[in-house]
Amino acid sequence: MAVSVDEAVSTGPARGHAPPARRFGGRGRSVLEVVLLTVLAVVMLFPVLWMIETSIKENRDVYAIPAEFFGFKVTMDHFKDVFVAPGGGRSALSVSFLNSAVVAGVSTVLATVLGVPAAWAYSRFSVKAKKDQLFFILSTRFMPPVVIVIPIFLMYRQAGLIDSKLGLILIYAAFNVPFTIWMMKGFVDEVPAEYEDAAMLDGYTRLQAFWKFTLPLLVPGIAATAVFALIFSWNEFVFAIFLTSSDDVRTAPPAIAGLIGGTTTDWGLVAAASVVFALPVLVFAYLVRKHLIAGVTLGAVRR
């Protein structure tokens, strides 16, 4: 008996088997996702919003019971106190912010200048015991700073680097170089070595080929790595508090922590200092956001 094509290949549901019901409607699922994400965002951002709100409150509103979320008088006096001392002139906090900018910026640049060529060399050349060397480089980041701060303090005391910006720059760069090498090696691996081989056939040296052809392609990776290295140097607390003792050298994290304690704490000043301290990294990350996203996603799709 002949069977037609329509009978042989049926597009409808099989007899005796009802189509599976949709467990959850698309619209209802979208609403649930929006609600959950909103709740999560509120929980995550509430401390930040509370910090910003506290920084623009008057002291009587900061200590008000119950807490005032709305209807308080806005003031910028706390931000003025961050930069101006009570008797006039520059405040100790403004000096610490400047120290953080110098130490974090120079250490990040130094780690990048040393780490990018090292990552390129590990990616392009055959090095004896390469995996062991890379593991040893990474192992320097295994132990937390609080574990090694005492031997570093003793070495710095012998070298005369205690309470100096140079000492902080060197230790931050030393901690960021291994991270930079490991991050940048993955980015360099994604750039075909044939680009450099073709450039050397045209008469360029290997370093010229790296500088003119490979390095421009690594800009997104360098930006992403620099952001993370800057965040570490900017937020670092343990080395800053153990290796510095004067207001002329102390960075912002221990300076802000020093505002808390004693008989009374000016929480408005603490909140304002925290807001000012958070802004530079956020601004820097925003300015390099395109390179940051490209660098983080580089290598996500294999050729």
pLDDT greater than 80 at residue 4: no
More confident residue, 28 or 80: 80
User: How confident is the model over 26-39, as pLDDT tens digits?
Assistant: 677 788 888 899 99
Q: Which residues pair with 156 in a beta bridge?
A: none
Distance in angstroms (rounded) separating the CA atoms of residues 29 and 96: 49
Q: Which are the contacts of 176, defined by CB distance < 8 A and separation ≥ 6? A: 107, 108, 111, 115, 229, 232, 233
Token pair listed for 65: 């019971």
pLDDT above 50: residue 170: yes
Q: What DSSP letter does each residue of 147-192 carry, written as one string?
A: HHHHHHHHHHHHHT-TT-HHHHHHHHHHHHHHHHHHHHHHHHHTS-
List where CATH 1.10.3720.10 sits in the chain.
92-297
Stated as kind and residue range, the H or E segment containing 139 is helix 130-139
Question: For residues 225 and 183, is the Cβ–Cβ distance under 8 A?
Answer: yes
Asked whether 273 and 82 are in contact (CB, 8 A), the reply is yes
Over residues 50-61, mean pLDDT: 86
User: How does pLDDT run across 261-295, given as a tens digit for each residue?
Assistant: 767 788 888 899 999 998 888 887 787 777 666 65
Return mean pLDDT, the chain: 83
Tokens of 105: 């910026």
Is residue 298 classed exposed, middle or buried when 0-12, 13-18 and 19+ CB atoms within 10 A define those classes? middle
| pTM for the model | 0.78
Cα gap 224→184, rounded to integer Å:
9
Residue 5's pLDDT is what?
47
| 92-297: CATH topology | MetI-like fold (1.10.3720)
**Distance of CA 137 to CAs 189, 270, 296, Å?**
18, 38, 22
Q: Tell whether omega for the bond before 216 is within 30 degrees of 0, i.e. cis.
A: no
Rounded CA gap, 82 and 273, in Å? 6
